[in-house]
Amino acid sequence: MKLPPKPTPVAQDLAAVRRHYSEAVRNRAMRAEDRWHQLRLNLARRRGQQVTVLSLAGYGSPRWVRIFSRVVMAPDSDFENGRRVAKVIADGVRGWRNFVSAPVPFAALKATVAGREYDVTADRGGIVDTVIDLGENTLDPGWQQITLQAPGEDTTRAEVLIIGDEIEDGIICDIDDTVVVTKLPRPFLAAWNSFVLDEHARTPTPGMAVMMERLMNASPGSPVLYLSTGAWNVAQTLTRFLTRNLYPHGPLLLTDWGPTEDRWFRSGRRHKEQQLERLAGEFPQIKWVLIGDDGQHDPTIYADFVRAHPQNARAVIIRELTYSEAVLAGGRAEVPHEDEQLLRGSGADGAHPPGYQEVDGYRVPWIYGPDGKDISAQLAEHGLLSEGEHPAA
């Protein structure tokens, strides 16, 4: 008679657990989600599943790094000879399993950065999003490797993009309807992106990868960060899609769909606003090219960012949705205004004339186009692409 497996030992930061459960801000939705996470964790442990630390790209400066990861339970089939299959760590759990895999709330990990170990704790959803101050133990600019390890488990390697103090240009890019052509109604978009089996079912926006690569070539060393309202559960799927379609490599800034202290579901718009504000504070020397689409809130969010941080904005690029895409998206975004002066005009056919946003002596160009080729031509007219290049074919 085969005996059932012993419950898998799981290392959690007990101080963080006690602190969280004693917080008065935990509303009914958060309490329900906490119980659901614990139920799934206990079931996975009884089934003999193992703690798995998934690899996600982070970023930082020579003096600090922001680390991202997900800590979940995975079955024995994802092991070979007692060791975690490397592909599972790098690629994550695919499709619907991203959401049924039990997270490890407040998982206790060891992060090794530049030869030193640091204690790291996941949040209540098993998401690691933490900043490590390196002190005198600095890192060189460029892509660097760190390691993450749960007690008794294999080491996971992850990349962090170290942005040097001399870097003055960067790119922040939305994903859905900007680099990916979704052709889906907004109510179904989140479900499709979450439960689609793999990255092959996604369609890249024509010419956008080439346009972004040209922007980077015009300013060597400039970083690219992808800012999206998507869930961390699909981070590896999005990374594979971006890599397969030759988009520049860069960290993802995603979110957790779970409840917060004041909402039943997280606000995607607030997530984008907070991350933009954070990047302006972390890299005050960088002027960002902000890339989004006109089917959601991107124009308003970017206009607000330029108004608050004109010194941190190089240009705003808005991909124009086609008529059918705009219908599925629920219409085009509202036209942002600037001090009672129309920032962007729009014709009946959805076309946008050239425009600028002027704030405190800064003049930030706004560029609209349906694809990367059209946008590249306008970027060249504004002098934002290096000389000698031609619009992407």
Shared domain check, 123 and 103: yes
Q: In angstroms, rounded to a whole number, what is the distance separating the alpha carbons of residues 319 and 376?
A: 12
Shared domain check, 309 and 191: yes
Q: Which of 32-41, 281-290, 334-343 has the highest mean pLDDT?
A: 281-290
Domain that residue 138 falls in: 14-162
Shared domain check, 328 and 263: yes
Contacts of 368 (CB under 8 A, 6+ apart): 294, 317, 318, 319, 320, 344, 351, 352
* pLDDT over 50 (residue 197): no
Q: Which two tokens stand for residue 298?
A: 């991107």
pLDDT confidence of residue 84: 60
Q: In angstroms, rounded to a whole number, what is the distance separating the alpha carbons of residues 282 and 304?
A: 18
Beta bridge partners of 67: 130
Task: Give percent above pLDDT 70 in the chain.
Answer: 74
Measured CA angle at 312 (ends 380, 180), to 5 deg: 60
Q: In angstroms, rounded to a whole number, what is the distance separating the alpha carbons of residues 336 and 325?
A: 20
For the domain that residue 256 is a member of, what is the CATH number? Answer: 3.40.50.1000
Q: Which of 143, 162, 181 is the last residue of a domain?
A: 162
CB 155 within 8 A of CB 53: no
Q: Which two tokens stand for residue 91?
A: 């690629």
Q: In angstroms, rounded to a whole number, what is the distance separating the alpha carbons of residues 303 and 272?
A: 13
Q: Which two tokens stand for residue 269?
A: 């718009």
pLDDT confidence of residue 364: 95
Q: Which of 162, 187, 205 is the last residue of a domain?
A: 162
Measured CA angle at 167 (ends 162, 170), to 5 deg: 85
Shared domain check, 270 and 334: yes
The DSSP symbol for 303 reads H
- Of residues 114 and 189, the one with the higher pLDDT is 114
Alpha-helix runs per DSSP H in 122-224: 186-195, 208-218
Which pTM does this prediction carry? 0.86
CB 317 within 8 A of CB 292: yes
pLDDT in tens, 39-89: 999 999 999 899 999 989 999 999 999 999 999 998 876 655 455 666 666
Shared domain check, 175 and 106: no
Q: Which of 117, 146, 162 is the last residue of a domain?
A: 162
* pLDDT over 80 (residue 260): no
pLDDT confidence of residue 241: 87
pLDDT confidence of residue 127: 94
Measured CA angle at 166 (ends 164, 170), to 5 deg: 75
CB 240 within 8 A of CB 199: yes
pLDDT in tens, 14-27: 999 999 988 877 88
Shared domain check, 280 and 158: no
Of 55, 60, 50, nearest to 80 by C-alpha is 50
Q: What is the mean pLDDT of residues 274-285?
A: 97
Q: In angstroms, rounded to a whole number, what is the distance separating the alpha carbons of residues 129 and 120?
A: 9
Shared domain check, 245 and 111: no
Shared domain check, 158 and 186: no
Q: Is residue 136 part of a domain?
A: yes
Q: Is residue 362 part of a domain?
A: yes
pLDDT in tens, 311-351: 999 999 999 886 455 444 444 455 565 543 345 444 444 45
Banded model confidence at residue 249, pLDDT cuts 50, 70, 90: very high
Shared domain check, 226 and 129: no
Report the domain count for the chain: 2
pLDDT confidence of residue 321: 80
